[in-house]
């Protein structure tokens, strides 16, 4: 029996290649074709587009991305056991899939991509946040990022001020990208099921960041403010040096406010005042 793409169903691929899921590699495979298809549609039409996929595993999402029309798909997989099943996918989609047996944290994407690409990935949870930060810092290379995270991380990326999930990841992601939560996926959809619900988030890099600010300074101000998130800003920002209350006043921020009450715009204003006083 084969699927629509002429390849065997994923469960058979996993069994015939003996792909027992490795916990240390964050392996939870998504076998539901409705869901892989739905993820592959998040960026919009992929016809003629270049896509980077991290962690293709046995190739479920990979097949959905190719079936959605991606012209060129570069997939980075650390687990050598997945190379044989992925070679079968590459053969079925003549020349459109290139698989690299690399660690996604270490690769230099600029050497791989000659044009702007979409990133689509069901990310290994243990490296999801460092990968997102790496891509945000090089966001000009990407048209969109459709990424699956554990729900708690998805909540942090999309959080609004005055919520528990709002913090560094919300501010940096939303400052640099238009961020939208797409949908949640139950643990039951995966083999083996993870302990938590997953969330698909779409990030579209902004041409220019939403408000003027310098990334390293903004990161430092945000990290310092949220390092003591229960304290008022006049206290939590003291370690940055300078006349804290005067700096807050210059940025138009009430010094008794706490980190989670400031919008992305207010954090940018504040970091600009620190930058000018350096
Ligand atoms: N894409 C498949 C799916 O949706 O069923 C598998 C997703 S699974 C959550 C994560 C995949 O990332 C695994 O195949 C794992 O081997 C791979 N992986 C883990 N760490 C990696 C790394 N540092 N670089 C590249 N791939 C990695």
- Classified as helix, coil or strand, 69 is coil
**What's residue 30's pLDDT?**
97
Pocket probe for ligand 1: among 13, 24, 55, 89, the residue whose CB has the most ligand atoms within 8 Å is 55
* C-beta of residue 139 within 8 angstroms of C-beta of residue 113: no
Judge if the beta carbon of residue 53 lies within 6 A of ligand 1. Answer: no
Question: For the segment 170-216, what is each residue's pLDDT rounded down to a tens digit?
Answer: 999 999 999 999 999 999 999 999 999 999 999 999 999 999 999 99
**What's residue 167's pLDDT?**
97
Question: For the segment 35-55, what is each residue's pLDDT rounded down to a tens digit?
Answer: 999 999 999 999 999 999 999
All residue ranges of the chain with pLDDT < 50 are: none
Judge if the beta carbon of residue 57 lies within 6 A of ligand 1. Answer: yes
Q: What does 171-190 look like in DSSP terms, one character per residue?
A: HHHHHHEEEEEEEEE-GGGE
The torsion angle over the Cα atoms of residues 52, 57, 59 and 61, rounded to 10 degrees, is -60
Q: Which residues does residue 29 pair with via DSSP β-bridges, in sequence order?
A: 191
Judge if the beta carbon of residue 107 lies within 6 A of ligand 1. Answer: no
**27 C-alpha vs ligand 1 centroid, how far in Å?**
6
Say if strands 72-76 and 97-100 run parallel, antiparallel, or are unpaired: parallel
Using CA atoms, how far apart are residues 72 and 53, in angstroms rounded to an integer?
Answer: 11
* C-beta of residue 142 within 8 angstroms of C-beta of residue 118: yes
Judge if the beta carbon of residue 26 lies within 6 A of ligand 1. Answer: yes
Q: Tell which atom from ligand 1 comes closest to the C-alpha of 126.
A: 20
Say if strands 29-30 and 177-185 run parallel, antiparallel, or are unpaired: unpaired
Structure tokens at 247: 């700096």
**123 C-alpha vs ligand 1 centroid, how far in Å?**
6
**What's residue 94's pLDDT?**
87
């Amino acid at each position: 029996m084969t699927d629509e793409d002429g390849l065997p169903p994923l469960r058979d691929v996993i069994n015939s290649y003996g792909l027992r899921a490795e916990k240390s590699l964050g392996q939870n495979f998504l076998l539901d074709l409705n869901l892989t298809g739905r993820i592959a549609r998040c960026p919009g039409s992929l016809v003629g587009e270049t896509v980077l996929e991290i962690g293709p595993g046995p190739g479920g999402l990979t097949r959905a991305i190719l079936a959605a029309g991606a012209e060129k798909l570069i997939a980075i997989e650390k687990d050598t056991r997945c190379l044989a099943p992925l070679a079968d996918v590459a053969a079925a989609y003549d020349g459109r899939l290139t698989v690299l047996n690399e660690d996604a944290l270490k690769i230099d994407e600029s050497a791989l991509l000659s044009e702007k690409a979409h990133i689509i990935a069901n990310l290994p949870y243990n490296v999801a946040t460092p990968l997102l930060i790496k891509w945000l810092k090089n966001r000009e290379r990407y048209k969109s990022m459709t990424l699956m995270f554990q729900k708690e991380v998805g909540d942090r990326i999309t959080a609004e001020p005055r919520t528990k999930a709002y913090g560094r990841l919300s501010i940096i992601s939303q400052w640099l990208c238009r961020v939208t939560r797409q949908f949640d996926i139950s643990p039951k959809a995966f083999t083996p099921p993870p302990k938590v619900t997953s969330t698909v988030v779409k990030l579209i890099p902004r041409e220019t960041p939403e408000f003027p600010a310098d990334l390293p300074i903004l990161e430092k101000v945000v990290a310092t403010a949220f390092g003591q998130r229960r304290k008022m800003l006049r206290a939590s920002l003291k370690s940055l040096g300078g006349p804290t209350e005067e700096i807050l006043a210059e940025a138009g921020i009430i010094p008794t406010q706490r980190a989670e009450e400031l919008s992305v715009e207010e954090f940018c204003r504040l970091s600009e005042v620190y930058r000018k006083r350096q």
